[in-house]
Structure 1
Amino acid sequence: MSIIAKNLNKVRSEIASSASKSGRKTSDITLLAVSKTRPANDIRIAANEGQVHFGENYLQESLEKINELKALELCWHFIGPLQSNKTRAVAENFDWLHTLDRFKIAKRLSEQRPTDLAPLNVCIQVNISNEDSKSGCLPSELTALVNVISELPNICVRGLMAIPKATQDAQEQQVAFAKMKALQLELQAKYPQLDTLSMGMSGDMDAAIAEGSTIVRIGTAIFGPRAPKSA
């Protein structure tokens, strides 16, 4: 068994354990393997172990891998910051975008999404810890943004994404994730399709799952340490 296969099994076991502690079903939590900077063959190995969902941050690199692996039935998530001049490539090649935080980007994605593809699933990124260094809309801006984006025809607002302030304090982690869950519940009264909370990485996955995460984003724990990204 490969190292990647062993790591996948370990992460899946940890997700199951966290779900069990929280009284949740493991099947309600999707493991998103963050494959940025990893070669296509690493993704192929993970796919052979039943991994379907892969997250990419760097557009040009990801397009090359998507093309190389197009024979596999994979679900591609773009999880990096998205500039206006790169929206078409995401609209044409990805199944999900996790970092939407502006109407301008949403409108371009809707206009550029090919009509023969299902609507692009999007998560609104929320700056839940109000950090100057983080992207995302503020919680106070969220409802208005969802209202206008939900009117666009070729994208589907599926939920929320957050990267809370880094901390090793489990209670602090849980407070931030609980705020995200509260925002989701508030929006679901009007938009029941908002079934997704993309939150939790290796260091805070347990707290995220306890507060209702439905997608956890795990990279190094599956693929091992990353080599520095070349310029």
Structure 2
Amino acid sequence: MTDRRNELAANLAKVERRIAAACAAAGRAREEVTLIVVTKTYPASDVRILSELGVRHTAENRDQEAAPKAAECADLPLTWHFVGQLQTNKVRSVVSYADVVQSIDRSRLVTALSREAVRAEREVGCLIQVALDAGEPAVGRGGRGERGGVGPGGIEELADLVARSEALRLDGLMTVAPLTGEYAGRQQAAFERLMDLSTDLRSAHPAATMVSAGMSGDLEQAVAAGATHVRVGSAVLGVRPRLG
């Protein structure tokens, strides 16, 4: 366990240096960017070590793995983020532990989250996941993207629905750098587009200031664009084992 703790501490320090350098290069204060460690495929023991090392935000993308892990770590001072595509039949379980759901991309999901959050007497933060697979006409009209998410044209309607839904809180926007379309391979341009969309959103919903973008390979571009949160997994925890 000591070896694993040393490994995680060294990796975390490297990521911290990258974020700090990116903030300095962008003329931003380090405190403007929150690190979310994506712990998917790694055990609760790693989450516990990370918490001891000062990590306060963790993320998961599959409920069947996240639910027991969150339960095992319920005593830790962590904010849990759900970042995967979420099916409505998993919403009750996800609401039991997730403080923030970053993958809001359709009205049925908002309705289900609100109902279950009310039942659980919890407030759940929500990010609209934006699909920037531009060039796909359906996405441009507000359809869903290849990796989940709603097109830019669908943000306003979903945001308004979240804002008026009981037990939900509209926190902002999230995106994953797209693999296709005009932003493929242009992560910073994609993240800058997300920031423009965030500015538009905040004109109607001033409290929706969170912008979640950037992962292990492109966190610098996200920080340069103005992201408030970066989601880092492998750079902290190591290369993930293949899922069978």
TM normalised by structure 2 equals 0.88
Structure ranking higher on relative contact order (CA contacts 8 Å, 6+ apart): 1
SS in 1 for 2:96: helix
Alignment partners' CA distance in 1, 2:67 and 2:240: 19
Equivalent residues of 2:36, 2:232 under 8 A apart: yes
Equivalent residues of 2:110, 2:162 under 8 A apart: yes
CA offset at residue 60 of structure 1? 1.5
Q: Look up the match of 1:34.
A: 38
Alignment partners' CA distance in 2, 1:149 and 1:187: 12
Q: Look up the match of 1:219.
A: 233
After superposition, give the CA deviation of every residue in 1:76-115 in whole Å (9 maximum; x if it has no partner).
1111110010011111211011101011111111111156
After superposition, give the CA deviation of every residue in 1:153-175 in whole Å (9 maximum; x if it has no partner).
111110101112249x9992221
SS in 2 for 1:179: helix
Q: Does 1:15 align with 2:19?
A: yes
Unaligned runs of 5+ in 1: none
Q: Look up the match of 1:6.
A: 10
Fraction of identical pairs, as percent? 34
Q: Look up the match of 1:181.
A: 195
Alignment partners' CA distance in 2, 1:111 and 1:133: 27
Alignment partners' CA distance in 2, 1:80 and 1:104: 16
Do the aligned partners of residues 16 and 161 (structure 1) sit closer, same or farther apart at CA in structure 2, a change above 3 Å counting?
Answer: same
SS in 1 for 2:10: helix
Alignment partners' CA distance in 2, 1:57 and 1:145: 21
Do the aligned partners of residues 17 and 170 (structure 1) sit closer, same or farther apart at CA in structure 2, a change above 3 Å counting?
Answer: farther
CA offset at residue 118 of structure 1? 4.5
Q: Look up the match of 1:162.
A: 175
Equivalent residues of 1:170, 1:204 under 8 A apart: no
Q: Does 1:136 align with 2:146?
A: no
The one-letter amino acid paired with 2:75 is A
Q: Select the residue among 69, 88, 94 that pairs with 2:92.
A: 88
Alignment partners' CA distance in 1, 2:124 and 2:215: 23
Alignment partners' CA distance in 1, 2:242 and 2:200: 41
After superposition, give the CA deviation of every residue in 1:162-195 in whole Å (9 maximum; x if it has no partner).
112249x999222111110011101111101111
SS in 2 for 1:189: helix
Alignment partners' CA distance in 2, 1:29 and 1:115: 33
Do the aligned partners of residues 13 and 120 (structure 1) sit closer, same or farther apart at CA in structure 2, a change above 3 Å counting?
Answer: same
TM normalised by structure 1 equals 0.93
Q: Does 1:55 align with 2:59?
A: yes
Aligned residues: 229
Unaligned runs of 5+ in 2: 137-144
Q: Look up the match of 2:75.
A: 71
Alignment partners' CA distance in 2, 1:136 and 1:39: 28
Do the aligned partners of residues 180 and 202 (structure 1) sit closer, same or farther apart at CA in structure 2, a change above 3 Å counting?
Answer: same
Alignment partners' CA distance in 2, 1:155 and 1:23: 33
The one-letter amino acid paired with 2:235 is A
Alignment partners' CA distance in 2, 1:75 and 1:5: 20
Equivalent residues of 1:91, 1:114 under 8 A apart: no
Q: Select the residue among 84, 104, 109 that pairs with 1:105.
A: 109
Equivalent residues of 1:129, 1:176 under 8 A apart: no
SS in 1 for 2:92: helix
Q: Look up the match of 1:120.
A: 124
